[in-house]
Structures are given as C-alpha cells and as structure tokens.
Amino acid sequence: MSTHAHSAVNGGDAPTVRLTIPAKAEYITLVRLALSGLSRLRPLSEETLGDLKLAVTEACSNSVRHGYGDLGEGTVDILYELQPDRFVVEVADDGPGFDAHGDRGKDQELEEGGLGIAIIKAVSDEFEAGERSHGRGSRLRFVKFLDN
C-alpha cells in the first residue's frame, strides 16, 4: 500500500488535508509531519501544536492497535481541517474497533487503549468517538480551539 495525500478547500477558507496510511506504527511519523506542515498555514503556539501531535499520535495508535492488531493490514484515514477558530482532526479505520465509551472495567480499559482516549480528551476541547458512518470500523474526532 502507498500513502496518499489530497488537499482540498472546504467551505471556502478551511484548508482540508486527507491522508490514507497503512495501518502500521511506522507511518504515524508521516501523520505528525503532515500536521506540522499544515500548521504553517496558521501559526500555532508550541503548546497547541504539541497537544495536536500527541492527540493524533494516540488516535492513530489506537486505530493501528485496535483496528487491526498485529496484522498491520488495512488503512487508517486521517482528516485535518484548519478552520478560522479551530483545528479539527478525524481518524478512522475499517477494523473491528475498540470500546470508545469505556463500558468495560477501568483496568481493562486502560490496558486496551483507554489511556490513549483519556489523553486525547485531556488535550482537546471537543471529542467524539464511535463507529464510522457506514457501520464498520471506528472513528475518533477531536477539536482544538485556536486563539484569534
């Protein structure tokens, strides 16, 4: 599989970048580099950029680990949308998924990725997780508000 990047303009002023990467941990660095590149369109504080990098790393790691396990098969889709007042990130996969709602016991949740979700929630201003719209796979979406 190869990595694909597409750039589009959504709603006039919101640059949008979509990446599709193989579900392998070594490609997460590419996801972080794309985030750094997009952040040059609108200067972000070191703290905001660091929070976004941490959150996208955790989200992609969850997709790789829970979406496909050790097989490393499949892909992970990442969407970055830089709106005037916020940076939106969505990470989705077609794997069997994970329990994003924490319906299990606390110890099992932390063992199986709950800590990653907790980190994303802690560094973002909005968070949602669930199934993809077509019913297979998982989707994480988080938002970081930007200073005007």
Q: Domains of the chain by range and CATH?
A: 4-145 (3.30.565.10)
Residue with tokens 């319906």: 103
Q: Average pLDDT of 55-67?
A: 88
Whose CA is closest to 53, among 117, 101, 124? 124
More reliable by pLDDT, 72 or 112: 72
pLDDT (0 to 100) of residue 12: 52
Indicate the SS3 state at residue 102.
Answer: coil
pLDDT (0 to 100) of residue 28: 94
Q: Average pLDDT of 53-63?
A: 93
Q: State the CB neighbour count (10 A cutoff) for residue 54.
A: 17
pLDDT (0 to 100) of residue 110: 41
Rg (CA), the chain: 15
**Tens-digit pLDDT profile for residues 77-98:** 999 999 999 999 999 998 775 5
* DSSP notation for 12-60: TTEEEEEEEEES-GGGHHHHHHHHHHHGGGS---HHHHHHHHHHHHHHH
Q: Average pLDDT of 61-76?
A: 76
